[in-house]
Structure 1
Amino acid sequence: MTSDMMITLSVLAITAALFMSGKVRSDLVAICSLIVLVLFDILTPDEALSGFANSIVIMMIGLFVVGGGIFQTGLAKMASGRLLKLAGTSETRLLVTIMLASAGIGAFVSNTGTVAVMLPIVVSMAMSSGISPSRLLMPLAFASSLGGALTLIGTPPNLVIRETLMNAGFEELSFFSFTPIGLVCVGLGTILIVVLSKFLLPKGAKKAKGTRGEGRSLEELAGQYQLSQNLYRVQVGEGSPITSKKLIDLDIPKRYHVHIIELRRRTSSKNPFFKTINQEIAGPTTLLQEQDILYVYGAFEQVEQFAKENGLDLLDQQVVERTGDNPSKPSSQSNGYASREIGIAEVLLPPNSALINKLVKHSGFREKYNVNILGIQRKGEYLLHDLKDEKIRSGDALLVQGTWEGISLLSKEQTDVVVVGQPLEAAASVTLDHKAPIAGGIMLLMIVLMILDIFPAVVSVMIAAVLMVVTGCLRNMEEAYKTINWESIVLIGGMIPMSIAIQNTGAAALLSTQLVESLGSFGPLALLAGVYFTTSILTLFISNTACAVLFAPIALTAAVELGVSPMPFMFAVAIGAGMCFAVPFSTPPNALVMSAGKYTFKNYVRLGLPLQLILGVVMVILLPFFFPF
């Protein structure tokens, strides 16, 4: 073993270990590994940067933009919503429909985007059908990964093996090369999930059928975040020192550790009653007046101190506010944090959200969307106080309160947040935006160009991406750039040169020789099983793209050494990398549904591990029939 090979394998091992730990961003790890390989003269600067000029990276950028156009115009929401409405209220029919819709959309756009669009629709459909969302959300995430096996552009590992085969002089894969084996994956996966989920998914709490409400069960959210125990009403008394002052100047959260989230104001001095139409979110510029009723969120002792020091009356539970002649008690659970105009919703953060590691006070929720963050759910615990200086972390679920209009505006921001718990009608709405047909036509044009092979695949994708901007499906280039997951792009661009180093130093030949020597004597089927399950196990710990980039050249060399066609082995790498279900953080869709479905790590292992193993065994048996040795 040469010194260059030892250094390359050491860098590879350290890189894999850092990927598994998850403590350092994967794109930073990839760039650092490149720098080390350049410093040791294993890669030239040109070779180190070659990954960013690779057609895979350029195609992924284009596909993110095309997918962004599909999502922004509402086309994906329309398609999935219409399909789900046809499913009725039967849990099995709804489950099958959700999976087929998710797989179908996931065949053409990113699986993360697919789940982000469908998640609020599925939650609202589940609630209105009396089904626990936990019965549907994990299958939704798994189906989006299954759909990635249907087309060339379904998932990055598919593009990786295409590029590896082309560079080695083998026939280029077509757009639908994956479709036959992908249909088997989707069909078998759907059947297995429908059967296994009956026994292995949590039952969850059901909601009575036909129950309507302004959200994904406001009572459930309120109880979950203990809103009723932390919401109090105080009235600004005569001569109060906070009268005629703006909230931003009073700095109440810092001084008293309480938050004023809403106020209700008398409409006329002649009218002794309060009208809920004057209910409004308390913002930094809100000017307080005498007789205002403030809804204050915080611990009772701190609210009491705030009221005592500022001449406020702490109202008891019997005081009634009136709208005309209709009393509504403030102790009613929905009153105080939700009404016809104002509501609450739960917000989930995709793993690549720009909000991760930002302080709550710097999140911009209030400034951009006029909503307040009331609580944070983190690993089964609820943070309810002193949130201003709390750092938002990956996997957090946020409880926000604001106008329904503001929440609706927030729900359109699918890059950094996914809103669940918005009004049932809004979540399930499938209104067709006027640009949606154009986005659908552009997507169809891209597929036709790729099937007919009129241009290289990367050119077809870039044509479609440019058309999305030119036709207004994305408003401008800034919107287009926002749709791109730059962490994934940098990761792919950084890992491709790693595979060059593995090949140039002979590490790929060494590892493939060991594979052949240990399994080759048992025949190509045993080697195929080794390739598939090694990839499948590795992708539990590192991203499927990085896994495919690293293992594709090893599998190719092993097949050539054994003297058989590399096709089944390369498809084993792509499918093995894409079908990862046994852990929650192996893929963004798995992580995205964790909070919404209230899943634990054990839930993923119970359903995902048998699914991953059974699919693996079937793929190893069937791949040689589709792609003979």
Structure 2
Amino acid sequence: MNGPMILTLATLGAASILFVSGKVRSDLVAIGALLALMLGGVLTAEEALSGFSNSVVIMMIGLFVVGGGIFHTGLAKLVSSKLLQLGGASDTRLLIMVMLVTSLIGAFVSNTGTVAVMMPIVVSLAMSARINPGQLLMPLAFASSLGGMLTLIGTAPNLVITKTLVSAGYEKLSFFSFTPIGVVCIIAGILAMLFLRRFLPKEEEGGKDKQSGRSLEELAQKYQLTQNLYRVQVASDSAIRSKTLRELDIPAQFGLNIIEIRRKISAKNQFFKTINQEIAGPDTMIESEDIVYVNGSFEQVRQFADQYGLILLDQHAVERRFDVQVEEQQDGEQYATRDVGIAEVMLTPNSSLIGRFVKHSGFREKYRINILGIQRKEQYLLHHLKEEKMRFGDALLVQGTWQDIALLAADQSDVVVVGQPIEESSKVTMDQKAPIAAGVMLLMVLLLVTEIVPAVVAVMTAAVLMVVLGCVRNMEEAYKTVNWESIVLIGGMIPVSIAVEKTGAAGLLSDGLVSALGSYGPLVMLIGVYLTTSIMTMFISNTASTVLLAPIALSAAIQLDANPFPFLFAVAVGASMCFASPFSTPPNALVMSAGRYRFSHYLKVGLPLQMIIGVVMIAVLPLLFPF
């Protein structure tokens, strides 16, 4: 072995030890390995930085943004609620369902694209089912690779071995030639995961932040908001049409708080019909067919509706928003949008508000915030608040824009805001954008399946559309959706694979192993080919492993006068079923942060699964393709 090869293998070994230990961040380890190979003269600066311009890395960035759009618009919550209905409360049924659905999608879409589409859905599903997302995300990543074996286009190694066979004069593999192998992989993978899932994270690390305050749902339940929330619809002949809330002065006349106005838009396009949610401000003008959310007693609401000719909607009346009904919303979400929210504030001991009437507090004038309720010891005051005098120890439930609530939190002379308004605002989904996000996602999947444009172009187009169409509010929020640790990890490890090939380390390993096993017959050779591919894919990309080993496997089969098909399928399966490392495939890296996985989780779960699939394939491949 030459000097560059020794340095490359030593760097790989040191990086592997650090990855396993988990004491150093994985992205820092990847950059350290990259610097060592550059300083050692193994890689040029251009080669070392090539990983960050690689299409896979660029595609991963775009997929994070697409996933963010799916999550922020509530589309993930919508789909996950449907899956939750199918899976029920059983963790086992949820695991099987997630893996089956992911496998089917992975048969036609790249495994990276499949995970990006499914990950926000699965995270939302796990939260709804009250289980740790880590219980489902690693099975999700593995299932995308298992499903890739179902069709010719499911994964890149399938295309590589097809090209190798055709170049050697053999018959071209059909679209579904891989299906029997894929079905066996999926069955074996799901059965194995039912046992191996016990090694996945069960509890959230760090626990719940005690300083984070109550959730929106908890606040709504605590103040019994939904018991005093009513909806009235503006009729075409109503007396309040074309008038502003300032002109109407409804709080003074009826003792009601106007919470929100929802207005249908885009009526010409049924697919993109949504309902626009607006904060009820003084200058908000009432229009025909508006649905006005009011807070107060039923008698006051009825008087308001009778006087102005409004339609009092039943509390459970259907208001469709992309096939989601209002009653399906959490309590707190009826009072909050991406722009507007609710929060609880406490009066400080020296607050100038103590002893003042609510109507003289200046909350609306100074902070543009409404007071919805007061908690006084064990009593909740929800009506005629203007005439209430504030006392020390009172907790106030307020509503306003998240920005205004944040400004109130910054001014701690009179009140202290419980919780973190900006963080709470990020949890509120823009449900009215859900159909647009669905359209963008379907467009991306269509482009990926048809291959009209390169995969990276399809993904980046979808990412840009998510931002431009408002599914992600702005570029700053788009950047926040990207998990940069995963990006740096993959970008740093791709050039390391270049070093493995460039120094001849990969060729030395494969040639030596195959030549050593060739005399023991085709079955032993098949085992050797599979193991070599499986081990090599832990350090270089599955595509690079397949390109390197497919010709060697073909040559070995010809020397043994054996059928080359089982050997080449062993290369494709061995390259695709790499689960023992977070950086061996993009799906493994994508779920690492969201699932709060350490390298040890991949060794405890992924390595046994990889070995189980290997044993099953060694037994099945000779049956499907006799030597």
Question: TM-score under structure 2 normalisation?
Answer: 0.53
CA contact (8 A) 1:567 1:627 kept: no
**SS in structure 2 at match of 1:435:** helix
Alignment of 1:42-121 (within 5 A): 42-89=42-89, 93-101=93-101, 109=113, 111=115, 114-115=118-119, 117-119=121-123, 121=125
Q: Which amino acid aligns with 2:556?
A: L
Task: From the superposition, tell whether residues 59 and 433 of structure 1 become closer, same or farther in structure 2 (CA, over 3 Å).
Answer: same
Which deviations, in whole Å up to 9, do the C-alpha atoms of 1:567-596 show, x marking residues without a partner?
Answer: 424423443314779xxxx8674775579x
1:122 aligns with 2:126: yes
Gaps of 5+ in 1: 127-132, 205-213, 219-277, 293-319, 327-338, 343-365, 372-400, 413-430
**SS in structure 2 at match of 1:434:** helix
Which deviations, in whole Å up to 9, do the C-alpha atoms of 1:450-477 show, x marking residues without a partner?
Answer: 3333233333333333333333332333
Aligned-residue identity in percent: 42
CA drift of 1:146 comes to 1.2
CA contact (8 A) 1:528 1:572 kept: no
Mapped to 1, the partners of 2:105 and 2:66 lie a distance apart of 13
**SS in structure 2 at match of 1:67:** helix
1:562 aligns with 2:561: no
Task: From the superposition, tell whether residues 484 and 613 of structure 1 become closer, same or farther in structure 2 (CA, over 3 Å).
Answer: same
Q: Which amino acid aligns with 1:38?
A: M
Which has more radius of gyration? 2
Match of 1:517 in 2: 515
Task: From the superposition, tell whether residues 590 and 159 of structure 1 become closer, same or farther in structure 2 (CA, over 3 Å).
Answer: same
Q: Which amino acid aligns with 1:26?
A: S
Q: Which amino acid aligns with 1:409?
A: S
Q: Which amino acid aligns with 2:483?
A: N
Task: From the superposition, tell whether residues 621 and 112 of structure 1 become closer, same or farther in structure 2 (CA, over 3 Å).
Answer: farther
Alignment of 1:475-514 (within 5 A): 475-514=473-512
Mapped to 2, the partners of 1:152 and 1:466 lie a distance apart of 31
CA RMSD in angstroms comes to: 5.6
Task: From the superposition, tell whether residues 495 and 84 of structure 1 become closer, same or farther in structure 2 (CA, over 3 Å).
Answer: same
Residue 135 (structure 2) aligned to one of 119, 123, 138: 138
CA contact (8 A) 2:486 2:593 kept: no
Match of 1:397 in 2: none
CA contact (8 A) 1:435 1:473 kept: yes
Mapped to 1, the partners of 2:426 and 2:440 lie a distance apart of 27
Moved more, 177-186 or 20-29: 177-186
Alignment of 1:508-587 (within 5 A): 508-523=506-521, 525-530=523-528, 532-533=530-531, 548=542, 551=545, 555-556=549-550, 558-559=552-553, 562-563=556-557, 564=564, 567-578=568-579
Match of 1:31 in 2: 31
Q: Which amino acid aligns with 2:57?
A: V
Residue 443 (structure 1) aligned to one of 438, 441, 444: 441
CA drift of 1:84 comes to 0.9
Task: From the superposition, tell whether residues 475 and 27 of structure 1 become closer, same or farther in structure 2 (CA, over 3 Å).
Answer: same
CA contact (8 A) 2:66 2:463 kept: yes
CA contact (8 A) 1:38 1:48 kept: yes
CA contact (8 A) 1:151 1:177 kept: no
Match of 1:471 in 2: 469
CA contact (8 A) 1:51 1:495 kept: yes
Task: From the superposition, tell whether residues 95 and 510 of structure 1 become closer, same or farther in structure 2 (CA, over 3 Å).
Answer: closer
CA contact (8 A) 1:34 1:48 kept: yes
CA drift of 1:83 comes to 1.7
CA drift of 1:323 comes to 1.1
CA contact (8 A) 1:508 1:557 kept: no
CA contact (8 A) 1:512 1:555 kept: yes
Mapped to 1, the partners of 2:493 and 2:164 lie a distance apart of 16
Q: Which amino acid aligns with 2:494?
A: I
Mapped to 2, the partners of 1:216 and 1:470 lie a distance apart of 29
Mapped to 1, the partners of 2:484 and 2:9 lie a distance apart of 27
Match of 1:223 in 2: none
Task: From the superposition, tell whether residues 433 and 58 of structure 1 become closer, same or farther in structure 2 (CA, over 3 Å).
Answer: same
Task: From the superposition, tell whether residues 553 and 28 of structure 1 become closer, same or farther in structure 2 (CA, over 3 Å).
Answer: farther
CA drift of 1:142 comes to 1.7
CA contact (8 A) 1:502 1:508 kept: yes
CA contact (8 A) 2:466 2:472 kept: yes
Q: Which amino acid aligns with 1:82?
A: K
CA contact (8 A) 2:145 2:577 kept: no
Which deviations, in whole Å up to 9, do the C-alpha atoms of 1:151-180 show, x marking residues without a partner?
Answer: 4999xx956887999999989999999877
Mapped to 2, the partners of 1:95 and 1:64 lie a distance apart of 23
Q: Which amino acid aligns with 1:513?
A: D
Which deviations, in whole Å up to 9, do the C-alpha atoms of 1:307-363 show, x marking residues without a partner?
Answer: xxxxxxxxxxxxx9331799xxxxxxxxxxxx9979xxxxxxxxxxxxxxxxxxxxx
CA drift of 1:369 comes to 12
CA drift of 1:528 comes to 4.8
**SS in structure 2 at match of 1:454:** coil
CA drift of 1:515 comes to 1.9
Mapped to 1, the partners of 2:156 and 2:511 lie a distance apart of 25
Which deviations, in whole Å up to 9, do the C-alpha atoms of 1:524-551 show, x marking residues without a partner?
Answer: 5545544555676788xxxx68564785
Match of 2:147 in 1: 150
Mapped to 2, the partners of 1:454 and 1:614 lie a distance apart of 37
Task: From the superposition, tell whether residues 534 and 510 of structure 1 become closer, same or farther in structure 2 (CA, over 3 Å).
Answer: closer
CA drift of 1:80 comes to 1.7
Task: From the superposition, tell whether residues 508 and 602 of structure 1 become closer, same or farther in structure 2 (CA, over 3 Å).
Answer: closer
Alignment of 1:175-324 (within 5 A): 181-194=181-194, 196=195, 280-281=344-345, 288-289=350-351, 321-323=377-379
Q: Which amino acid aligns with 2:53?
A: A
Gaps of 5+ in 2: 204-213, 219-341, 355-375, 383-394, 399-404, 411-416, 558-563, 583-587
Which deviations, in whole Å up to 9, do the C-alpha atoms of 1:83-133 show, x marking residues without a partner?
Answer: 21233455654553354456567856474884555345435435xxxxxx4
Task: Report the number of matched residues.
Answer: 430
Match of 2:240 in 1: none
CA contact (8 A) 1:555 1:570 kept: yes
Mapped to 1, the partners of 2:613 and 2:528 lie a distance apart of 15
CA contact (8 A) 1:369 1:410 kept: no
Mapped to 1, the partners of 2:447 and 2:518 lie a distance apart of 40
Mapped to 1, the partners of 2:142 and 2:120 lie a distance apart of 13
Match of 1:614 in 2: 612
Mapped to 1, the partners of 2:83 and 2:202 lie a distance apart of 24
Task: From the superposition, tell whether residues 64 and 185 of structure 1 become closer, same or farther in structure 2 (CA, over 3 Å).
Answer: farther
**SS in structure 2 at match of 1:13:** helix
CA drift of 1:79 comes to 1.2
**SS in structure 2 at match of 1:24:** coil
Q: Which amino acid aligns with 1:498?
A: V
Task: From the superposition, tell whether residues 449 and 25 of structure 1 become closer, same or farther in structure 2 (CA, over 3 Å).
Answer: same
Mapped to 2, the partners of 1:6 and 1:52 lie a distance apart of 25
Question: TM-score under structure 1 normalisation?
Answer: 0.53
Alignment of 1:332-481 (within 5 A): 402=418, 408-411=424-427, 433-481=431-479
CA contact (8 A) 1:56 1:163 kept: no
Moved more, 176-185 or 51-60: 176-185
**SS in structure 2 at match of 1:436:** helix
CA contact (8 A) 2:580 2:607 kept: no
CA drift of 1:509 comes to 1.3
Q: Which amino acid aligns with 1:559?
A: A
Match of 1:378 in 2: none
CA contact (8 A) 1:64 1:484 kept: yes
Moved more, 499-508 or 16-25: 16-25
